[in-house]
Chains A and B, each alone.
Chain A
Amino acid sequence: MAERVLRAWRGDRSGGRFEDYTVEADPGMVVLDLVHRAQAGPAPDLACRWNCKAGKCGSCSMEINGRPRLACMTRVGDFAPDEPIVVQPLKAFPIIRDLVTDVRWNYQQNKRIAPFTPGPAPADGNYRMSQTDVDRVQEFRKCIECFLCQDTCHVIRDHDKKADFVGPRFMIRLASLDMHPLDTVDRIPAVRDSYGSGYCNITRCCTEVCPEHIGITDNAIIPLKERVVSRFYDPIAMAIRAFFGTKSEPGKRPMAAPQTKVP
């Protein structure tokens, strides 16, 4: 047993301060355990959202010693013994209290995305998809919606461009739908104009913090950016399409309604 200092931010939207709690830490404990020890001892009213304690529900997102992380997956032993463990709420979203933020903006972004829209089913009623195609989009399905990527992304975090950019979590959702062989919606114009792919400057912080190790920048955002290039910025590709009358994305049709932005 060793004593550790948990320096937690306490407060709400009107303001707050850091408070230090000295708690006992057992070997192998994670930061969420320290928060629980503080709640069981000196700070019974310390607010913290959590659920699974297994890195799978995405609730316990907070900033630990300056880095957006899951409290249940961050070991206390990763920090030097004399280093205080500083816990803060996510910076990008409005604070409710202490370590809990209001992440509803993310759910609003999700609603702006047209859901998976397959074409008519084959005669036997079974849609089929080959393993190679499954493999490619499978990665994006691992997302646990912890929104750590959204919190780290400087476009949202520092520049507050919430009205212009949906953020990395929803870029991967868009990628998984746009690359889906059975989906029929052409999402590329909206990826540029409504979801704001141009705001991402591919500096990869989302990828660095994703606890599911999803290749957000390399496998979702950059491929979407390249699709946008083919559609809007590559004169040769555009000329070839015009000359041969080919569709930019065969099998896809324009998205029904332009999506309203949520600041």
Chain B
Amino acid sequence: MSTATGGHLAGFGDTHRRDAWWVGPVLTVLGLGVWLLYYAWAALQGEYYAAGPLLSPFYAPLLFADPSRAGAAAAEHAFFGSWPAWWPAFIPASPALLIGFLPGVFRMTCYYYRKAYYRAFFGMPPGCAVGPVPHDYRGETGLLLIQNLHRYTLYIAIALLPFLWFEALRSFVYEGQVGIGLGSVLLVVNAALLSGYTLGCHAWRHLVGGRLNCFSCDGGAEASHKAWSFTSWLNVRHMPFAWASLGWILLCDAYIRLVSMGVIQDPNTWSGAF
């Protein structure tokens, strides 16, 4: 422990704080760590991601499907039909791999997650008034200038939202019959949480109105002010939306996986089993 003038401690993790400042970073590492492990496993499966009208959100939008795999979606469910013959054999044949990186880069460049992983994974700083990992700090001026592309990943995330809503609504129709099941409800909540997260984005808040200096100067500015106010409401809740949507999407995948494997049954109006 190095001591500077004023009695301050300067080494990594050193502090005179006596409260449990480390709880946040530990929960972040655990939460993101467990989530990423589960995701890596589930996305590589390529199996048991669909059950009846339900499609795991890890696999949506579904570009190609290989119906010969266990628990896979029907080829008609996929936008471009059956699994492509040109797919290289050394890459696992899982449709999740085709789209998963898109929301991935969105979250990786999100202002909230940046805070969370800079603190919890990189210790810059691990907590407020807690010694950081010693390094030549450049902030977001060097390599991390890349974070400035967040708004492009936002465009992608917004483009994906209709597909998630489409999959959620589609899960209310099975074999030509409109109905409802626990799985369909889970998918609607999933789409809602992801929308709340996406539309609370700081880049979105800038684009819809934050970029203006005058909210009253012309007619268009008034509409922008409304959009900005709504986004600001979501933005204040960006962290809870970030975690809720992250957890929920995992829950949906796990649920649909278990239904698809036949471990549990989806309670629904189509008389049970898919």
Inter-chain contact B139/A251, CB cutoff 8 Å = no
Q: Does chain A have a CB within 8 A of B69?
A: no
Interface residue B103 (Cβ < 8 Å from any Cβ of A): no
Tell whether A66 pairs with B206 under 8 Å between CB atoms, given A16-B5, A91-B8, A159-B137: no
Residues of B within 8 A of A91 (CB): 4, 6, 8, 129
Whether a CB of chain B sits under 8 angstroms from the CB of A25 is no
**Complexed CA–CA distance, A201 and B115 (Å):** 7
Inter-subunit contact A205/B129 (CB<8 Å): yes
Which of B6, B114, B137, B214 touches A133 (beta carbons < 8 Å)? B214
Interface residue? B269 (CB, 8 A): no
Give the most central of A136, A178, A179: most B CB within 10 Å.
A136
A63 with B10: CB separation less than 8 A: no
Which residues of B, 193-232, contact A by the 8 Å Cβ criterion? 202-203, 205-206, 210-211, 213-217, 225
Binary CB contact string for chain A from 209 to 248 against chain B (1 if under 8 A, 0 otherwise): 1000000001000110111111011100000000000000
Number of A residues near B (Cβ < 8 Å) is 62
Hey, which chain B residues are within 8 Å of A152, CB to CB? 128-129
Contacts of B268 in A (CB 8 A): none
Taking the closest CB of chain B, its distance from the CB of A236, in whole angstroms, is 8
Is B132's beta carbon under 8 Å from chain A?
A: yes
Closest to B8 in A: A91
- Which residue of the partner chain, among A67, A88, A132, A233, contacts B6 with CB atoms under 8 Å? A88
- What string of 1s and 0s marks CB contacts (under 8 Å) between B171-208 and chain A? 00000000000000000000000000000001101100
Across the interface, A130 reaches (CB within 8 A) one of B114, B203, B215, namely: B215
Q: Is the pair B137, A83 in contact by a Cβ cutoff of 8 Å?
A: no
Find out whether the CB atom of B210 lies under 8 angstroms from the CB atom of A223.
Answer: yes
Q: How far is the CA of A11 from the CA of B6 in the complex (A)?
A: 8
Whether A203 and B206, one on each chain, are in contact in the complex, defined by CB atoms closer than 8 angstroms, is no
Interface size class of B (residues with CB under 8 A): 35 or more
Residue of chain B at shortest CB distance from A215: B236
Tell me whether B141 is interfacial, beta carbon within 8 Å. yes
Instruction: Give bound CA distance, A105 to B202, whole Å.
Output: 31
Closest to A8 in B: B7
In the complex, what's the smallest C-beta–C-beta distance from B125 to chain A, in angstroms?
4
Given A152-B129, A158-B131, A222-B202, are A66 and B18 neighbors across the interface (CB < 8 Å)? yes
List CB contacts (< 8 Å) of B10-28 with chain A: 10, 15-19
Q: Choose, from B34-42, B144-152, B160-168, B251-259, the stretch at the interface.
A: B144-152
Docked CA distance A222–B118 (Å): 16
A155 to chain B, nearest CB (A): 6
Q: Which residues of A contact B203 (CB under 8 A)?
A: 226, 229
CB–CB B215/A136 < 8 A: yes
- Say whether B119 faces chain A, with CB atoms less than 8 Å apart: yes
Contacts of B7 in A (CB 8 A): 9, 16-18, 88
Neighbouring B residues of A204 by C-beta, 8 Å: 115
Show 30 residue pairs from A and B whose CB-CB distance is below 8 angstroms, ordered by the A residue.
Answer: A9-B6, A9-B7, A16-B6, A18-B7, A65-B18, A68-B128, A68-B129, A88-B6, A90-B6, A91-B129, A152-B128, A152-B129, A154-B125, A161-B137, A165-B139, A180-B213, A196-B139, A198-B139, A198-B141, A203-B124, A205-B125, A218-B235, A218-B236, A222-B202, A225-B148, A226-B211, A229-B151, A229-B206, A230-B206, A251-B213
